[in-house]
Amino acid sequence: MADFEIAIDDYLEELRVARRCSPHTISNYARDLKAVARSATARKLADWQRVTSSDVRAIVAEQHRDGIAGRSLARRLSAVRGLYNFLIKLGRAETNPAADILAPKDKKALPATLDPDEVSRLLNQNLSDPMICRDLAMFELMYSSGLRLAELVGIDLVNLDLSVGQVRVTGKGGKTRELPVGQPAVDAINKWLSYRRMMPGADDKAVFLSSRGKRIAPRTVQMRLKKLAESQGLSRDCYPHMLRHSFASHMLESSGDLRAVQELLGHADISTTQIYTHLDFQHLAKVYDESHPRAKRSKVAEDT
């Protein structure tokens, strides 16, 4: 391990003195390089010059099997490539065995959603507290139109046309889109607006105001949804984007129209929307498993 450590220490000194890297960066490089060096030593390799591309691939595969995430392995490979470039410059190595090695990609987590019953449980309330009415109006609108949090808090009064059930929002890249608003959301917004007229800041252009009469902050929306979900006994950790995910999943499940869902969500690339097809398949697979008499193999069959 000593020869590995000498090269690592020399490289870290180069980063510290010549490149003026931050202590945080140097600490990360040290940790990543030492982890790779330990694996190389376990493979009976004496120093960095003995490490081949096959060794690097094997080390990456081994560490991935041990639970190291793809993103972390990509950072480790970057550190190893940097070390070898440094050693080659000094004439202490001839090639960079990590040059063409790619880290394995992490499995993309599917977005969390609420099922329709959970959405109804969350939103079907008839209360007279102005702030809770505002909250219900916000979350009805998010679910009704599939809004991002930033789009919700950015809505002004002029962007609403409740007579026809429509809202204009500004999404990523400053792109605007016109979206339909369902009747439950229209009713909830109208109820909120009746309270809003009597609140401080009633002349503000924002639709959704804080109790102090200012445009509501994203963080406040997050906290209010969490509180509402807890009050309704939902065991899930609810957050605003979950309503957008739920909207997309339920729309796709009912319509099967991926292009329409893409337009409603404001996705520039349909591949971003396609993740919801996996959610739809998960639902169908669950129904299949619970309903089809030959859907599940017997325990005996699984063990043979």
Indicate which residues carry an active-site annotation: 148, 172, 241, 244, 267, 276
Q: Which of 61, 76, 72 is nearest to 30 (CA)?
A: 76
Q: Which of 74, 81, 86, 77 is nearest to 96 (CA)?
A: 81
**Cβ-Cβ contacts under 8 Å for 222 (sequence gap 6 or more):** 149, 239, 240
Q: Which of 88, 26, 117, 101 is nearest to 59 (CA)?
A: 101
Phi, psi (deg, nearest 5) at residue 116: -55, -35
Residues 48/87, Cβ–Cβ less than 8 Å? yes
Map tokens 């917004």 to a residue: 189
Residues 122/89, Cβ–Cβ less than 8 Å? no
Separation between Cα atoms, residue 194 and residue 190, nearest integer Å: 6
